[in-house]
């Protein structure tokens, strides 16, 4: 969908995307013309305030909620922390938190920190081998003192989209708030927050061709949370500090474009993802992680593969040298030496998790990107495997057949 030609193939859109020209154009006046503080009462301040209000209304329309239910933040990470810490501050008697084992680090690390300090008890729900939360495990985990349930809506590594309708209904029946991390799903799948049984939801802009450094937290009207640091009365007295007006305007515009073009972009991205999967799954000893490619249970453009007998970091660096930019997981944890907790949670061995690469595509990718990625990856895998003595030749044919069967089964 893009005429832009690069010498490189950028396939790391799950970590960050290129800002669209239309988004940048919408932002520019608030750097150089209407640059006042939206809390100021002079004309430049009032112009900034008007832009802020319009952006909030626009984003609310994209999300299917009321503008008054949105609080702007610096990121989805901040939104996740504000949601959970804000709930805990209002409900000090609630000493139990439920999460999935495949949460983003901003939820997982906070929850484990609280549990380690003895602030509350933590329950991690069961997931199947494709990352789906087991609703029965949620039912069994709920307690009278459960503070909240926090579930990542679309997983940032393996693309699994959770059945929020079912999980939310269980939470509603138990009268326990449900928070979702929806940073990866906004603009990729239809969202209507007033129709979903969700009480809080976190978002950001840089996963949908908006600017970095801006996020939002949806807080359903009946839900109360407490601000986590002191300052002015901005953002409904929930998140003090002068709002980043240019970024917020860009966020709203990016969401508007993503929702407007969703069907067309999804078809484009699904086509490219299938071609990429077909090319890479032809390599022996490769397995797909997460739900079937292009299924309704997987984020469009997400492809996570394990390349057996090779370190993922070695593949990543080889691809980087050849101008193919991918990820070995989330950028928030890509420098960690431990294997991905998401991949080990769905049953991968540590060495398999270490040999996994995530390819994530967007509206700006082309067939040339896919062709380059397939060619470069095949060459890198062949070269790296030639350097290792760990491939059991007597099992090569059997494992290759298993990988092909596994792939076909997941896509039938």
Q: Which residues have a catalytic role annotated? A: 332
Q: Are 363 and 2 in contact (CB under 8 A)?
A: yes
> Which of 409, 407, 316, 386 has its CA nearest to residue 358?
316
Rounded CA gap, 291 and 300, in Å? Answer: 11
User: Contact at 8 Å (CB) between 338 and 50?
Assistant: no
Residue 11 CA from chain centroid, whole number: 15
Among 161, 79, 80, 101, smallest CA distance to 340 is for: 101
Is residue 315 within 8 Å of 377, Cβ to Cβ? yes
């Amino acid at each position: 969908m893009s005429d832009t030609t690069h010498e490189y193939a950028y396939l790391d859109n799950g970590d960050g995307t290129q800002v669209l020209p239309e988004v940048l154009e919408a932002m520019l006046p608030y750097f150089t013309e209407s640059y006042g503080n939206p809390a100021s009462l002079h004309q430049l301040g009032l112009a900034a305030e008007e832009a802020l209000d319009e952006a909030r209304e626009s984003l609310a329309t994209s999300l299917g909620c009321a503008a008054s239910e949105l609080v702007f933040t610096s990121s989805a990470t901040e939104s996740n922390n504000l949601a959970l810490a804000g709930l805990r501050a209002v409900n000090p008697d609630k000493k139990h938190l439920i999460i999935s084992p495949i949460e983003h680090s901003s939820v997982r690390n906070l929850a484990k920190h609280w549990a380690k300090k003895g602030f509350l008890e933590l329950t991690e729900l069961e997931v199947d081998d494709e990352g789906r939360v087991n609703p029965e495990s949620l039912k069994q985990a709920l307690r009278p003192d459960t503070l909240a349930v926090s579930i990542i809506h679309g997983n940032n590594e393996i693309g699994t989209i959770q059945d929020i309708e079912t999980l939310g209904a269980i939470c509603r029946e138990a009268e326990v708030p449900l928070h979702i991390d929806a940073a990866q799903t906004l603009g990729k799948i239809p969202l209507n927050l007033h129709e979903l049984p969700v009480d809080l939801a976190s978002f950001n802009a840089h996963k949908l061709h908006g600017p970095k450094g801006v996020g939002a937290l949806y807080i359903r009207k009946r839900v109360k949370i407490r601000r986590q640091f002191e300052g002015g009365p901005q953002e409904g007295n929930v998140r003090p500090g002068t709002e980043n007006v240019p970024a917020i305007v860009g966020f709203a515009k990016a969401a508007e474009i993503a929702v407007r073009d969703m069907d067309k972009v999804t078809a484009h991205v699904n086509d490219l993802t299938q071609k990429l999967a077909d090319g890479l799954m032809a390599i022996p000893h490769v397995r797909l992680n997460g739900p079937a490619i292009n299924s309704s249970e997987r984020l469009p453009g997400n492809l996570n593969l394990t390349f057996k007998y090779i370190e993922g970091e070695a593949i990543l660096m080889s691809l980087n040298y050849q101008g193919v930019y991918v990820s070995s997981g989330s950028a928030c944890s890509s420098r960690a030496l431990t294997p991905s907790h998401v991949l080990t949670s769905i049953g991968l061995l540590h060495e398999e998790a270490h040999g996994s690469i995530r390819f994530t595509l967007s509206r700006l990718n082309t067939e040339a990107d896919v062709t380059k990625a397939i060619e470069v990856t095949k060459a890198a895998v062949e070269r790296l495997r030639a350097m290792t003595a760990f491939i059991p030749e007597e099992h090569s044919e059997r494992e290759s057949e298993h990988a092909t069967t596994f792939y076909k089964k997941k896509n039938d």
